[in-house]
Amino acid sequence: MDTRKLGFFTLLLCVSTTLVNAEDPYHFFEWKVTYGTMSPLGVPQQVILINDKFPGPVINCTSNNNILVNVFNNLDEPLLLTWNGVQHRKNSWVDGTPGTMCPIQPGTNFTYKFQVKDQIGTYYYFPTTAMHRAAGGIGILQVHSRPLIPVPFDNPADEFAVVLGDWFNKGHKSLKNILDGGKSIGRADGVHINGKSAQVGAAVEPSWTFEAGKIYRFRFCNAGMRTSVNFRFQAHDMKLVEVEGSHIMQNDYMSMDLHVGQCLSVLVAADQPPKDYYLVVSSRFTKQIHSTVAIIRYAGSNIPASHELPPPPVENVPGVAWSINQFRTFKWNLTASAARPNPQGSYHYGQINITRTIKLINSRNYIDGKLRFAFNGVSHIDRPTPLKLSEYFGLADKEFKYNTIPDEPPDDVGKNIQLAPNVLNATYRNFVEIIFENRENTIQSYHLDGYSFFAVAIEPGKWSPEKRKNYNLEDAVSRHNVPVFPGCWAAVMTTLDNAGMWSLRSEMWERFYLGQQLYISVLSPERSLRDEQNLPETQLLCGIVSNLPRPAPYV
């Protein structure tokens, strides 16, 4: 079923349910995932398409809508898609990570069903299996505010979804072979904008059209493999209005850094003389700077864009100072009404007592000559049975140990790395502080599924408890990703009120693939429907739970 039919179905459901209860609308999607050929960097190569496209279809919805995506896996390998930043309240069953779901086998289909509960904002989906992310299967998921809830800016004339990122000319299987062989995939070959790249002066079709005098919303996600990017428009400032689901205090920026896994929205006013203008995207913190452009055309004009491009940020401290300063300008708009992802009270998150501090130090090392990445010395390996399922079926003790890593790592952490399923056992509703301390000389980017967290601080050096006095306890942005700059630490806080098995991971995909990830198991002691949805009847089962009778459902 295609989206044109959606209106009809949504209408039908609304009409048929309004008398009973005001059920939230449904959106149905049918996605065919296939290989195809595209040239993101100008070289034809195999990519992963959804309904013949990369980027895949935009999921455009409103808070609390129900989303059903029937995914047909026509690849030659098992596939899972995750919905980065969608919280799946009480429903980690559909989170799409290898620790929560059995993959969709080639030649079969599976329907994801979830609700975008109490969320607004810009997110993206991507494959978590193998190195598929390197080849595509990626797209934007955008959640609008409900009609009666005011948004702190005027309705834009149109909105444009933009997937950005680095790209490798090697295919996903070659990249996986390199990693399986214990080596790094190295640097990317270039950057793309919505699956295309072009250099200044090249004859390319405009990607977007502006009408003079109007305002447009661009939603950007960096869905790349490892590279931070900076983007900027010729002659147009951007007003940053949303970061990963939070309306923020609006500021104007000439250029914006976007680290791997991050999303944000900017407004751009079509207030310049009518002609073509470039959007420029360039890599950050790389020895060789890759850049690409796309064209915005003012309707009715035929004047080509100037070849003079806006410059990338000027660094006065090598690498990162500019980017840290920009991060610190992001403040939550406390008076903007919006669907609040977190429960009541977390608004005043600064007054909640911390019940647990989890400090994570990332490291990179070799085991038997093979490259691995770790948190606190443990490099995660997936089990053939998803952790969530073995836990739910009462077989966790056969499959993995909880809390292999200490909350407080020893000082020589990372000298040695061990391989193990890395699962933290968390107490339901604890208010936790997670510290990421990056002693490596490259930027990191970390993401937590199932939650948004308050990103309260980023500072150089090592973390210690007295650093808490520097936290932003007033208006830190509630988001799902935090960058951790070289030699810096970052602190985030959240209430673990969403029962489930949730991936905490590096968004840099070779690090993820080689173990820099863990799962937080948030078990509600009640095993009750109040706290967690039931295992969906359609859930795929695999590994040791394949043929087991399903446990009694929650009540």
Beta strand 291-298 with 208-210 is parallel
Judged by CB, which is closer to ligand NAG: 225, or 267? Answer: 267
Judged by CB, which is closer to ligand NAG: 152, or 310? Answer: 152
Judged by CB, which is closer to ligand NAG: 46, or 430? Answer: 430
Cα 314 to chain center, whole Å?
A: 27
Q: Give the one residue of 250, 272, 326, 355 binding ligand NAG; rule: CB under 6 A.
A: 250
Rounded CA gap, 459 and 308, in Å? Answer: 35
Judged by CB, which is closer to ligand NAG: 158, or 459? Answer: 158
What number of chain residues touch ligand NAG (CB under 6 A)? 22
Rounded CA gap, 51 and 72, in Å? Answer: 10
| 519-538 footprint of ligand NAG as x/- string (CB under 6 A) | ----x-x------------x
Judged by CB, which is closer to ligand NAG: 173, or 356? Answer: 356
Give residues 66-105 in contact with ligand NAG (rule: CB under 6 A).
70
Judged by CB, which is closer to ligand NAG: 116, or 514? Answer: 116
Q: What is the DSSP string of 493-516?
A: EEE--S-EEEEEEESSHHHHHTT-
Judged by CB, which is closer to ligand NAG: 179, or 424? Answer: 424
Q: Which stretch binds ligand NAG (CB under 6 A): 333-341, 385-393, 507-515, 526-534?
A: 333-341
Q: Contact at 8 Å (CB) between 107 and 229?
A: no
Give residues 176-235 in contact with ligand NAG (rule: CB under 6 A).
none
CB 475 to ligand NAG: min, Å: 11
CB 162 to ligand NAG: min, Å: 14
Buried b (16+ CB within 10 A) or exposed e, 383-412: bebbbbbbbbbebbeebbeeebbeeebeee
CB 416 to ligand NAG: min, Å: 23
Judged by CB, which is closer to ligand NAG: 288, or 351? Answer: 351
Q: Does 344 bind ligand NAG (CB under 6 A)?
A: no
Candidates 163, 164, 179, 169; CA nearest to 131 is: 179
Structure-derived torsion over alpha carbons of residues 351, 506, 219, 238, reported in degrees to the nearest 10: 70
Q: Contact at 8 Å (CB) between 468 and 435?
A: no
| 347-366 footprint of ligand NAG as x/- string (CB under 6 A) | ------x-------------
Q: Give the one residue of 335, 344, 441, 547 binding ligand NAG; rule: CB under 6 A.
A: 335
Q: Does 10 bind ligand NAG (CB under 6 A)?
A: no
Q: Contact at 8 Å (CB) between 511 and 475?
A: no
Judged by CB, which is closer to ligand NAG: 70, or 301? Answer: 70
Task: For residue 194, give the amino acid letter.
Answer: N
| 139-178 footprint of ligand NAG as x/- string (CB under 6 A) | -----x-----x-x--------------------------
**323: its two tokens:** 């980017």
Q: Which stretch binds ligand NAG (CB under 6 A): 81-89, 164-172, 332-340, 497-505?
A: 332-340
**421: its two tokens:** 């399923």
Judged by CB, which is closer to ligand NAG: 42, or 350? Answer: 350
Rounded CA gap, 8 and 12, in Å? Answer: 6
Q: Give the one residue of 110, 126, 298, 463 binding ligand NAG; rule: CB under 6 A.
A: 110
Beta strand 229-233 with 255-258 is antiparallel
**321: its two tokens:** 């100072």
| 451-470 footprint of ligand NAG as x/- string (CB under 6 A) | --------------------
Judged by CB, which is closer to ligand NAG: 62, or 84? Answer: 62
CB 426 to ligand NAG: min, Å: 7
Question: How many C-beta atoms lie closer than 10 Å to residue 78's C-beta?
Answer: 17
Q: Which stretch binds ligand NAG (CB under 6 A): 89-97, 106-114, 283-291, 312-320?
A: 106-114
Give residues 422-441 in contact with ligand NAG (rule: CB under 6 A).
425, 427
Q: The sheet that has 229-233: what strands, in order across it?
A: 208-210, 291-298, 276-283, 229-233, 255-258
Q: What is the DSSP string of 175-232?
A: HHHHHHTT----S-SEEEETTB---TT-----SEEE-TT-EEEEEEEE--SS--EEEE
Q: Give the one residue of 39, 45, 46, 109 binding ligand NAG; rule: CB under 6 A.
A: 109
Q: Does 336 bind ligand NAG (CB under 6 A)?
A: yes
Q: Contact at 8 Å (CB) between 380 and 418?
A: no
Rounded CA gap, 93 and 113, in Å? Answer: 10
Q: In a 3-state reduction of DSSP, which class is residue 373? A: strand
CB 109 to ligand NAG: min, Å: 4
Q: Does 111 bind ligand NAG (CB under 6 A)?
A: yes
CB 80 to ligand NAG: min, Å: 14
Q: What is the DSSP string of 384-396?
A: SS-HHHHHHTT-H
**1: its two tokens:** 């079923």
CB 128 to ligand NAG: min, Å: 18
Residues at the interface with ligand NAG (CB under 6 A):
60, 62, 70, 109-111, 144, 150, 152, 249-250, 333, 335-336, 353, 402-403, 425, 427, 523, 525, 538
